[in-house]
Amino acid sequence: MIKAENLFYLYDKNSSPVLKDINLDIQQGEYTAVIGPNGCGKSTLVKHFNGLLFPANGSVQVDGINTTDSSSIHQVRQKVGMIFQNPDNQVVAMTVEEDVAFGPGNLKLPPGEIQKRIYEAMETAGISKYAQHPPHNLSGGEKQLLALAGILAMHPSYIILDEPTSSLAPDERQKVARLLQQLHKKGITIIHITHNMDEIVHADRIIVMESGKIFLEGPPGEVFSRVDELKKIGIGPPKITELMWQLKKAGIDVSTSILTVEDACKEIASKVNTHV
């Protein structure tokens, strides 16, 4: 479990805090999405979860380990993997396989174990065929899969993704999104920051942040149905949820916590049938 208690953070002493009194529990196995307008502090928040940033006040614990405990920081970073937005700036090696081997090498695993793990990880990410290739020849999506493989080889319990798909082509977005769901099914906790609402309709929980605070929190159906509040802070819910919300406003009594086209069809059909 990742636990944040009374978490405050400021970039320097005189500035106003970027995070203000955040209290949050993320359970093992959960798929949590974090959304919010630019500059709301979502990246700053997740950087606390693997010890890239440390609280100015309050605390962050990963499986009971306080991230400020410098003797255990290695453990925290093994448990919590992090993927960033720009795939190019995460690649450290000159071949795909060696890049995947970077994390396990940092964990000082023996060469045999490293090789076993990286082949598993590349297989899961679907990039085995590029093992010997130089990473700069890969597409953006493949580079992101490479970054994921690099984290998977460290056998993490939590994977944090900070807008992993924002620079990718639509088909590549889907590939990454599918892999995330697959990993989630295997029991890995996913913490996913995104601006693309359609990617996270299947999440267990959505956390909406605004000005360094948690603005809304709950399952997707519940959060997205509060269209008014979301629009106030500049977030558009999934189009289909907004459609249902508009229908309701227009006087048709439909549920507004609908996230997929199929469910929307069923819901509308059932109303139409009762009217006829």
Partner 1 sequence: MYNIGQYIPGNSPVHRLDPRVKIILLVILSIFIFRADLTVSALTTAFYIIVIAVSRLGFLRVIKSLKPAAVFFAFLFLIHLFFTEGTPVFSFLPQYVSITFEGLHRGILYTWRFILLVLSASVLTMTTRPSGLVSGIERLLRPLNFTGISSHDTAMMISLALRFVPTLLEETQKIKEAQAARGANISSGSIFYKIKSAAALAMPLLVNSCRRVDELADAMEGRGYQRGPRTYMYELQLTRLDYAALLIGFILVFAACAYKYF
Tally of CA atoms within 13 A in the half-sphere of 128 that contains its CB: 10
Six-digit token pair at 242?
A: 């907004």
Q: How far apart are CA 177 and CA 100, in angstroms?
A: 20
Can you tell me which of 23, 27, 28, 106 binds partner 1, judged by CB under 8 A? 106
Tokens of 115: 């090789």
Tell whether residue 154 is a contact of partner 1 (CB under 8 A): yes
Give 160 or 208: the residue with its C-beta nearer to partner 1: 160
221: burial class by Cβ within 10 Å (0-12, 13-18, 19+)? middle
- Choose between 4 and 159: whose C-beta lies nearer to partner 1: 159
Angle at CA 24, nearest 5°, toward 185 and 157?
A: 35
- 8 vs 84, beta carbon nearer partner 1: 84
**Any contact of residue 12 with partner 1 (CB under 8 A)?**
no
Q: Which stretch binds partner 1 (CB under 8 A): 4-12, 28-36, 113-121, 247-255?
A: 113-121
CA 92/CA 157 separation, integer angstroms: 23
User: Under rule CB under 8 A, how many of the chain's residues touch partner 1?
Assistant: 42
- When the beta carbons of 89 and 246 are compared against partner 1, the nearer one is 89
* DSSP label of 16: P
Per CB under 8 A, the segment of 89-97, 190-198, 229-237, 254-262 that binds partner 1 is 89-97
Q: Is residue 38 a contact residue for partner 1 (CB under 8 A)? A: no
